[in-house]
Every structure is written in C-alpha cells, then in structure tokens.
A and B are shown apart, each in its own frame.
Chain A
Amino acid sequence: MTGFADHLMIAPVVLPMFAGATMLALGGEQRRNVNAMLNVAATFALVVIAIALLRTADAAPTGVAGVYRLGDWPAPFGIVLVVDRLAAVMLLLTSFLAAAAIVFSLARWHRAGVLFHPLFQFLLMGINGAFLTGDLFNLFVFFEVMLAASYGMALHGSGPARVKAGLQYIVVNLAASLLFLIGVSLIYGVSGTLNMADLAARIPAMHTGDRALLEAGAGVLGIAFLVKAGMWPLGFWLPATYAAAAPPVASIFAILTKVGVYIVLRLYLLLFGDGAGASAQFGGEWILLGGFATVAFGAIGSLASQDMTRLAGFSVLVSSGTVLAAIGMGQVGVTGGALFYLVSSTLGLGAFFLLIELVERGREPGADVLAVTREAYGEVDDLEDSNEVGIAIPATMAILGVAFIGCALVISGLPPLSGFIAKFALLTAALNPPTGAVPNANWAMLPVLILSGLAALIAMTRAGIRAFWASPDRSVPRVRLIEVVPVGALLLLCAIQTIEAGPIMRFMQATAQSLHAPHDYVSGVLGPAAERPKSLMGPT
C-alpha cells in the first residue's frame, strides 16, 4: 500500500474531486477558459488512468487488480475500493464518453449555463466511485454525489422544458434514494455488515427467518437501482429527461443508466450467485422479465417517437433492458456477451446524442412533428422542388450522414459494426448453454433481440430520411470540427471494438467468469482467511 501503482486505484475518485474543487476555488464562472482546460486535462488523465487500471486488472491472475483500504483498516471494518475487471472496464467506458462529451461541449454548450465544468467533474467522481466501491453505504454516498451533480447537469441551459423534466427527474430519484436507504438498513439490520464481500460470505449460512428479511432488503435495494437503470415500469421518467437535457449532458447520461445496470450485475451475481445457498438466483426471473418488458417498451416507444432525442431516449431503455434480461439468465456466456453489448451500445448512444444536436441544428423546431403530420395526411411535401434534380449534398451533411449511419448500425445491431457482434455473441451464448437443453427464457431472447433491432432500424431509418433527405426548407448547419471529432472518435471506438472483437470478447468472458465465481473477489477483499467463523452473524 505504498507504491504509486497502489494509489492509482483511488485516483479516479480523487482526481475529479480535486479538479472540481479547484475550479470552484478559482472562481467558477469568471475563469471559464481555465476551468475548461482543467476539465479537459482531468478527463483525459482519467482515460489514461482507466487504461492503466484495466491493464493491471487484466494481468492479475484473479482479475482483481487490487483492493484499496482507506486508512489501512482491514476489510469488514474499514472502507474499501476494489478494482476488478468489471470496474476497470466501466471506468474506461465512462472516461471515453466523458472525454467525447467535454470536447463537444467546448464548442458552445459549456456557455449555456453556470458551473458546467465543476459539475461535470463531480458527476465523474460519483460515477467512478460507484464503480469502485466495495461497500454498500459508500455506494449510497457516491450514488448521491453522482445524482446531485446530475440534477445540476440535467438543468444545464435552463428553459421550461428542462426545468419540467428536471423536476420530475429529481423527485423520482429522491424517492429511489430513500428506497436505497431502506434496503441498505434492512440488510445491515439482518446481516450486521455493509461490506459487499463480507455480505456474500455470510449469506450462505444465514438462518431461514433472517433470510426472508435479507431478501426483502435486497429487493427494495434492487428497485432503487432498477429505477436508475430505467427498467419498465420504473423508467417512464427517462425519455423525457434525456430528451430535454443538453446534448453533451445527455451523452454522459448514457452511462448513468449503466451505473444502475452495473450495480444490479455486481450485487446479483455476488450476493445471489450459485454459492448463495438457499438464496441462489433470488429475483433472477424478475430481472429477466423486467428486462424483456423494458426492451418491448423501448422498442415500441422508439417507433412512436416523433423526434430524434426521444428516439435516443427510448434506445437507452432498449439497451439497458437487453443487458438486464441477459443478467437475469444467469449464465456465464450470456453475461460475457451482455458486457460486450453494454460497451458497444453505450458508445453508440453517446455518439448518437451528440450527433442529434448537430443534425437538428439546421432545422426549424418541430420539423419532425410537421413531417409526421404530413405523412399521416398523405401530403407530398415537395412537388415544386422536383425540378431541382442534381444538387450535390453539402460536405457537412455528408459527414453527418455517414456518422448517422454508423450510429444506426451500432444501435440496431447490424453488421459490420460492434452492435452486430454483441447481439450475435448474446444469441450464440443463449442458444448454446453448457447444460445442453435450451431453456424457454433463452428462446425468448431470440425474438426479443431481433425484433428490437428491427424496430430500432425502422425508427432510425425514418428519422434519417426525414433529417437528411426529405426536408425541403433546411439550411446546412454550421458545424465546427471539435463537434464532429468526438462523434467520430466514439464511432471509431465501436469500429475498434469490431476489429479487435476476439481479444475484447475473451476479456469480457473472463470478466463474466470471475463475476459468476466471486470467490477471488471475496478473498481479495477479506484477505486469504475468507473462511470466517460462522458464529459471527451480526447483532442479535
């Protein structure tokens, strides 16, 4: 616990905190340019740190890069941060999205409201902390840091639409936080510990009476995370909030639902995996069915949405629903595919949220609604313009169009980009279970994935036709280079994920293996003497 490499583990939390605090100390709004430079520097430093942590975690034989004990107190008594493969990959994904969003915002959006840069860093601090923590109550604290910053970010730019959506977003999340507290305190009351690894070690030996209370606590806790993940019927707030948020904010919000998904994945497999005795697979069927319902709701919603921001909001729901359903199946191969899908779809959605604003910039507000009305009444919109054949598409529109096609391919899961490989991996794993017989739930995954992909494709094609071909009265949007580059970079990451699919998939499968057999995680946190006396069963 002395070397530089050890302290790198806490850097993803400490660095944004100091960066954000420095920006506030420098005087917030008066020095916006200094703050912007600090923000960019800190965010790109996070990318480097996340890559370093990922390499360490991958090189470690157990997949746990290290356990950071704050104040060097041993695990169940002190607070720990744990870097394993899953945490490292989520950190890297966050830092990529954050880097793209911050560069994009420099063009104009960071001037739309106050304190964008400090809030951005505090948001990153909360997200990174939630990924790293090995302790339920610290998870609550980091979750609240993340939410408090996200309230400010959701309202960035102000205006009636944002304030209305932000108000509802805040109420829903405050209520969910209270459920979170109820769940945490129930679990503490029954088990006497808040450390996740310690909890996992204690659950198999729990009495029947206590077990019911523990499962109730875990259920309440799960609802709090599923609200954040946007599972049907808990996610009605999501499309409105994401559609109203400023584009760079919506882009970084694409990772917020994944924080909920991440915690469900982590806690479900850690606490209620195969080793949990009578509680094994508790709640799995609910996550599975909820995931399917979310995908269906998201797909129908994206078909029905009349503008692109709402379409993107519903695509977020489809993405988190797919991952939830895959988690609910509880099979190693499916989880590995789901992790690949999670990375790919989050990058694609992040790029899409940024791209929408560029495409919409040249159009009058409400153009999409008018287009839908025209379609509904069968009106042909540009009869007079039909003699203008042969006008070349401006270069800006061509670039935006190519980026749009890239986003559509990733989100709907068509070849050749990473979305296809992700869905293919999910389906292959679901239809080839190690036990031989294919359960009904796995068969259900086939139509759900393919139909949701088809719905996404139809919705994206329709939106694309309206935005790029069929609007007679549009001007070419003024787009700056630093706005296109982040979109391109995110799509390039998807392309890299496609080309390097073999190594990345092996990494994801290794991650899934260690998630499904959390023995290394538990002994890594609690020390080698993980076999603790079973009589220590909390306050009685």
Chain B
Amino acid sequence: MKTERWVLLADDDENDILFLQRAFKLAEIGQMLRVVNDGQAVIEYLLGSGNFADRKEHPLPDLLILDLKMPRKTGLEVLDWLRHHEPMRTLPVIMLSSSVYPSDIQKAYQLGTNAYITKPSGTAQRNELVKLIKGFWLGFNEVPQIS
C-alpha cells in the first residue's frame, strides 16, 4: 500500500462529514481525508485555485467521495465536469448519497462514477463501509497517476 494516499470528501452535511471522519479515524486513515462543503469547492480544489493553491495543504486526491446533493454544484455536475477535464478524467469517484432513486444511480454511472453507495444509517455499517474503502480503493485497487 502506497504511503501517501489522499481522499477528498465533498459533502454539505456537517453531521455526515463528522461521522465519516470518525469512521476514517477508526480505520486509521483519518489523516488521508480532506473535506470540502460544496460542488464548486471540489472543482476549485482539483484545479488548485484560490484557497486551494497550496498543494502541500491540499494535495490532489487519489479518490473522490461525492455527495449527490450539494449547494453551488451538485455531485453529478461535478462528475460531469470532471469527466471532461484532463487530467482529472481518470480520478476514481465514489458517489455517496442517501438517494436510492434509480434515475440518480443511472445518471451517476452514465456520467462515469466508479461506485454508487447509499449513506449508511448506523455507525456499524459506516465503519464497515470505510474499512472496505480502505481495503479496496486505497489498498488492492491501483489508481492512475494524476499530475
């Protein structure tokens, strides 16, 4: 497992952020997590513009976890932008949403998400999910280099 791995989480729900941060810590990958609170911020982070110019502080992520419903830009809009912008096109994306609406799932995959996961309700499930993300996406899975 590569030592320097970064995960960018985009969510506007403070609670969900807190729960996920907690689960990341529990899985001992808390330090890998960077968080933004809206869709526009994701794009700015990835472009390294504005507040996100410092790549030391805001390193390019190896995995993007996107909430579906966010202010300024929705998760799907961000995904759409991403898939049309080199070199971020190849960035692995997990959609993490409380929506189980089929058209949302359909749309997300059409726009090129790598996974679609409904937000777990309880801590036990959440912890399990984060453990799996760590094992698979940050472990076994090889990711393309993004410069």
A binds B: no
